[in-house]
């Protein structure tokens, strides 16, 4: 039986493991943290639990397809609830705008703010949906890992349908006239702090999740998504090893032969599926010369100077803050410029996540608010940065107060994460929170390779931290990789003589 090692229990690793074990592979999953879930983590401060990571859950049909691959029903493992409204946008002039997936309600709001947009909203949604599906097709059928592929005929023809010569800003102005709405939609479609004038129009496809398909809440919290997958994987026979970091991949004659766990035990493996971030940013698992330099350069994460600044607030009561609220910057272009200059934005866009609004019984003490803004990456050694941090906390709370939410008197527990703390707590390199999928024109179409061209038996999950589509992309990615492995190993399987009773061989002995 083919032994597959999955490195990492994020959504992509879990979904791949489930499909592979369902198809008769012997699957072991190693996770360096104490629990699986990857980006889905919870941070606790006394009796307050905070969700760090994904808060939008869209396209449940993709998650459902993972359960279906194992002939199971997702509803037996997970309870999800459709959100009629998912985000309240607060503009600077006191105007509120509810983001929702109901076109009738959206058009009613647009009629007041932007009658031109109300008139063109249906065609806008249609175009966003078209961009989403056209680009998904390119991603799944033609993995574009080098520039040359862009000029090949079927890909070139598809790319031409993606408005390749148009910026996001130009695209949005065809359907909207209100400046605040244009900035809002550009910000949602373009998670990285690039100007909407410098990112391609097709990224508007990200708005499909926010506006066309539905957004859901997961009862019990978002970590229930990886937990439900882990439960299914265990039932199917995937072997889980948590608190186990893979520290080396063993290679012989250009073929992977095993892994090393926690710098110690070595275990045989026929096929390895690993997180690409390992390869490109913190590669300690493979000898440098085993991967081509050219590819590493292409997919090196951009050395951005952005990180996040997260404020966790445990409040003594529940507020009426929506599940997601966004307090807009008066000038998003200025915000991007200040971050680019390594400065804190003077009027930042603030995100507030308040899951207690949907499931108050899970938060009996009061709201567990997660407040996030983009921040420049400045290391902890920089003393003036520490002073900036205290000032910035006040700036954020004052801005929130100006919008009608005086949080300071309600705070019972509080913790602030700067770039360094994000790195230590969620193992994200500061300044690299956005992963590999760059939104800049130059790299937006390219994806790192998912199968090693140098080494037989080595596959990579694609790191995508895009919000709000990242989780469904990660699930799709895992299924896609598993399908590739199944096809690649079909022939090898039929000739295999492996002993199924002996899963581990210690290569060090």
**In this complex, which beta carbon is closest to ligand FAD, that of residue 15 or of residue 180?**
15
Find out whether 307 is annotated in a ligand binding site: no
Question: Which of the residues 269 through 288 are near ligand FAD (CB under 6 A)?
Answer: 275, 278
For the CB of residue 219, give the shortest distance to ligand FAD in the complex, in Å: 17
Q: Is position 474 an interface residue for ligand FAD (rule: CB under 6 A)?
A: yes
422-451 positions binding ligand FAD, by CB under 6 A: 433
The strand pairing partners of 324, in sequence order, are 353
In this complex, which beta carbon is closest to ligand FAD, that of residue 159 or of residue 204?
204
Calpha distance 378→388 (Å, rounded):
10
Q: In this complex, which beta carbon is closest to ligand FAD, that of residue 175 or of residue 449?
A: 449
Q: How many residues does the chain have?
A: 509
Residue-wise DSSP of 136-148: HHHHHHS---SGG
The SS3 of residue 276 is helix
What is the C-alpha to C-alpha distance for residues 131 and 127, in angstroms, rounded to an integer? 6
Among 23, 26, 31, 51, binds ligand FAD (CB under 6 A): 31
Of the candidate residues 2, 5, 55, 206, the single one contacting ligand FAD (CB under 6 A): 55
How far, CA to CA in Å, does 179 sit from each of 183, 333, 497? 6, 12, 66
8 makes contact with ligand FAD (CB under 6 A):
yes
Q: Does residue 461 interact with ligand FAD by CB under 6 A?
A: yes
Distances 63 to 4, 129, 218, 225, 479 between C-alpha atoms, Å: 22, 20, 12, 9, 10
| Range in contact with ligand FAD (rule: CB under 6 A) among 84-92, 157-165, 338-346, 458-466 | 458-466
**Nearer Cβ to ligand FAD (13/314):** 13
Mutual orientation of helices 115-141 and 153-160 as an angle, nearest 10°? Answer: 170
Strand ranges across the sheet with 215-218: 57-58, 215-218, 80-82
- Selected binder of ligand FAD within 38, 376, 449, 457 (CB under 6 A): 38
Give the rounded distance of the alpha carbon of 204 from its chain centre: 17
Q: Which of 9, 301, 448, 449 binds ligand FAD (CB under 6 A)?
A: 9
Determine if 246 is a binding residue for ligand FAD (CB under 6 A): yes
Q: Which of 12, 6, 450 is nearest to 271 (CA)?
A: 6
Show binding-site residues: 12
Show binding-site residues for FAD: 12
Q: Which stretches of the chain bind ligand FAD, using CB under 6 A?
A: 7-13, 30-33, 38-39, 53-56, 245-246, 275, 278, 433, 461, 463-465, 467-474
């Amino acid at each position: 039986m083919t032994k597959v090692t999955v490195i990492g229990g994020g959504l992509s690793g879990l979904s791949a493991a489930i499909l592979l074990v369902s198809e008769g592979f012997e699957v072991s999953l190693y996770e360096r943290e104490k629990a699986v879930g990857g980006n889905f983590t919870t941070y606790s401060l006394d009796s307050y639990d905070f969700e760090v990571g994904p808060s939008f859950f869209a396209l449940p049909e993709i998650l459902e397809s993972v359960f279906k691959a194992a002939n199971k029903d997702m509803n037996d493992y997970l309870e999800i609830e459709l959100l009629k409204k998912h985000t309240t946008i607060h503009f600077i002039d006191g105007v509120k705008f509810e983001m929702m997936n109901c076109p009738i309600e959206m058009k009613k709001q647009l009629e007041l703010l932007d009658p031109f947009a109300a008139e063109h909203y249906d065609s806008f949604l249609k175009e966003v949906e078209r961009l989403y599906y056209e680009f998904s097709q390119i991603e799944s059928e033609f993995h574009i890992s080098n520039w040359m592929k862009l000029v090949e005929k079927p890909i070139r023809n598809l790319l031409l349908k993606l408005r390749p010569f148009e910026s996001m800003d130009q695209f949005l102005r065809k359907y909207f006239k209100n400046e605040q709405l244009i900035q809002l939609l550009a910000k949602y479609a373009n998670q990285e702090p690039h100007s909407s004038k410098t990112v391609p129009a097709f990224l508007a496809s990200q708005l499909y999740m926010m506006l066309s398909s539905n957004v859901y809440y997961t009862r019990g919290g978002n970590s229930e998504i990886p937990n439900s997958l882990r439960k299914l994987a265990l039932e199917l026979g995937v072997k889980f090893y948590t608190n186990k970091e893979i520290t080396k991949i063993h290679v012989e004659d250009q073929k992977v032969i095993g892994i090393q766990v926690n710098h110690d035990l070595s275990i045989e493996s026929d096929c390895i599926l690993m997180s690409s971030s390992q390869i490109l940013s913190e590669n300690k698992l493979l000898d440098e010369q085993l991967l081509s330099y050219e590819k590493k350069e292409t997919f090196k994460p951009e050395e951005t100077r952005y990180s996040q600044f997260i404020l966790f607030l445990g409040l003594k009561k529940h507020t009426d803050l929506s599940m997601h609220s966004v307090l807009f910057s008066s000038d998003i272009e200025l915000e991007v410029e200040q971050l680019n200059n390594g400065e804190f934005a003077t009027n930042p866009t603030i995100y507030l996540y308040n899951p207690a609004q949907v499931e108050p019984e899970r938060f009996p003490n009061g709201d567990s608010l997660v407040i996030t803004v983009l921040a420049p990456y400045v290391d902890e050694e920089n003393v003036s940065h520490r002073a900036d941090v205290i000032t910035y906390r006040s700036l954020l709370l004052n801005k929130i107060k100006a919008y009608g939410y005086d949080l300071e008197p309600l705070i019972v527990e509080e913790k602030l994460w700067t770039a360094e703390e994000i790195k230590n707590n969620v193992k994200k390199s500061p300044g690299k929170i956005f992963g590999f999928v760059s939104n800049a024109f130059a790299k937006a179409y390219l994806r790192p390779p998912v199968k090693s061209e140098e080494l037989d038996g080595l596959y990579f999950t694609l790191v995508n931290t895009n919000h709000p589509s990242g989780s469904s992309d990660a699930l799709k990615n895992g299924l896609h990789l598993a399908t590739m492995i199944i096809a690649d190993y079909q022939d090898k399987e039929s000739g295999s003589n492996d002993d199924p009773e002996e899963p581990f061989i210690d290569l060090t002995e």
